[in-house]
Structure 1
């Protein structure tokens, strides 16, 4: 309120609100977000769909593996379902953001945690952690379950092979960044249909369309964020693409920039 000297002092209610906001730590906001994420039925359905599709395709891929194929090609067939599984990860990330906008509960969330940068950082950490953990389980599941269906004369990928282990662990990290990237898109769009359309187009539709654009498509595909990040799923570097670790690092950088931009945008506009 304004005093006789013309200065503005915070009202007791405003002071209490500022004090409460300052007391809410990042770990508290993350715990708050974890409760919301695990209470959404869509969380469990999307991850069930991701696991069912990817591991199911791994079994089919194992049946199509031929004797004498390089182990890298066999591994690629076991992980062929990851491309479709990405869609479920995108759904998870988008819904983690837009479900609150759809119900209007985002206003209560911003009231509970007034510091929006802290809240959105916590949301990104939770979505990323869940995506990494479940994504890693799914990736290992594809390799382990798929390997059971390989013929005796087909080379089976072994986790004792450092490159195979890198693919499995890196695949989980890639899906973690993808979940956060989709979360950022959901926060920008603030609508489930728009967020899902944007996420699936960027991750699945547009990269596949680039195959028909010749050399231009190959150049764009090399630097397309999700395509670059997905190179971590290759046992060996693919000609014309970024190497696995640089590709994942590039996608991680793009994801971090997307989250920072989303925080700035959300902090400036109304709920």
Structure 2
């Protein structure tokens, strides 16, 4: 009698929305998508970042004058992108640490016992949201900045392959950055620590490197987030990685870090 009841209870477990089978990867993706979409603060944060970044882009474009080059104009338009970076870092970190803060991570691991599968699904969802948001922010910023340019100022056009690469690449950079912040959240397991680590690795350490001489140039060249930001250079700088290799290097470093974080989480207690 007891054996039958136990078997029935286990088979009827609704943790994955199915009966009598293990959670598939597609189920884990749906699980993570629902969790992300149900957190209102996440969407308000991303909306505020987009609004401020696009507004700053409009102001930057309005400040351009006739003597500026297309490279300077584009940098002025995207001057507010660090705000978008901060919001994406916040989103990626909280996607991992919020469950540790509430203790719901135990229920998550119960629903999807295979942790690598769960964390891969979480990374895919975070990357998708960050990428779509990043592309919307990047194209919105470019459009607002271009519309605010004066008649005499240079107008960087998307028909120029380098300009299109900057705009699309900016969104792709934010997509990778979301996963990078997720890794920090998985490692730190605390929101304050993960966000602080993201700010240090993305903003503070590169500023410190700029105060150094030749060593600082070498560190900036290979520092993952700095290498990824080279995608925003309309004219590549010879002392740094080229735009596409730089973004590729950032993506590879983030993937390696993600694999390490998944391995660590799989071995430790919730």
Same fold, judged at TM 0.5 (above): yes
**Contact 1:174 1:229 survives alignment (8 Å):** yes
Task: Give SS of 2:155's match.
Answer: coil
Question: Matches of residues 1-150 of structure 1 in structure 2 within 5 Å?
Answer: 23-150=22-149
1:213 aligns with 2:212: yes
CA distance in 2: counterparts of 1:113 and 1:254, whole angstroms: 27
**Aligned counterpart, 2:186:** 187
How many residues are matched?
260
Q: Closer, same or farther in 2 for the Cα pair 1:12/1:199, shift >3 Å?
A: same
Deviation at 1:178, TM superposition (A): 0.3
1:21 and 1:254, CA in 2 relative to 1: closer, same or farther beyond 3 A?
A: farther
- 2:211, 2:64 → 1: CA distance? 27
1:159 & 1:131 partners in 2: Cα distance?
22
Structure 1 equivalent of residue 198 of structure 2:
199
Counterparts of 1:29 and 1:138, CA distance in 2: 28
Aligned 8 A contact 2:131 2:171 in 1: yes
User: Contact 1:21–1:113 at 8 Å: present in 2 too?
Assistant: no
Offset at 1:219? Answer: 1.1
Mapped to 1, the partners of 2:7 and 2:21 lie a distance apart of: 15
CA contact (8 A) 2:127 2:178 kept: yes
Specify the alignment match of 1:270 in structure 2.
269
Question: Equivalent residue of 1:236, what SS?
Answer: coil
- What residue in structure 1 maps to residue 3 of structure 2? none
Tell me the CA shift for residue 20 of structure 1. Answer: 7.3
Q: Determine the C-alpha separation between the residues in 2 that align with 1:203 and 1:132.
A: 18
Q: 2: distance between equivalents of 1:62 and 1:170?
A: 19
Q: What are the residue-to-residue correspondences of 1:171-182 with 2, within 5 Å?
A: 171-182=170-181
Rounded to whole Å, the distance in 2 between the matches of 1:157 and 1:217 is 31
> Alignment partner of 1:23: what SS?
coil
How much does 1:64 deviate?
2.1
Over 3 Å counting, the alpha-carbon distance change for 1:139 and 1:270 in structure 2 is same
Output the CA distance in 2 between the equivalents of 1:148 and 1:34.
Answer: 35
Distance 2:208 2:60 in 1: 23
Alpha-carbon shift at residue 52 of structure 1 (Å): 2.1
CA distance in 2, matches of 1:218, 1:125: 33
Q: Distance in 2 between matches of 1:261 and 1:25?
A: 22
Distance (whole Å) between structure 1 residues aligned to residue 200 and residue 115 of structure 2: 28
1:205-252 CA distance string (max 9 Å, x none): 111222211222111111110000011111121231100000000000
Considering only aligned residues, what root-mean-square deviation do their CA atoms show, in Å?
1.9
- Displacement of 1:68 after TM fit? 2.9
TM-score by length of 1: 0.91
Runs (4+) of structure 1 exceeding 4 A deviation are 19-22
Kept in 2, the 8 Å contact 1:21–1:114? The answer is no
Quote how far apart the aligned CAs of 1:21 are: 9.2
- Alpha-carbon distance change, 239 to 84 in structure 1, aligned in 2, over 3 angstroms: farther
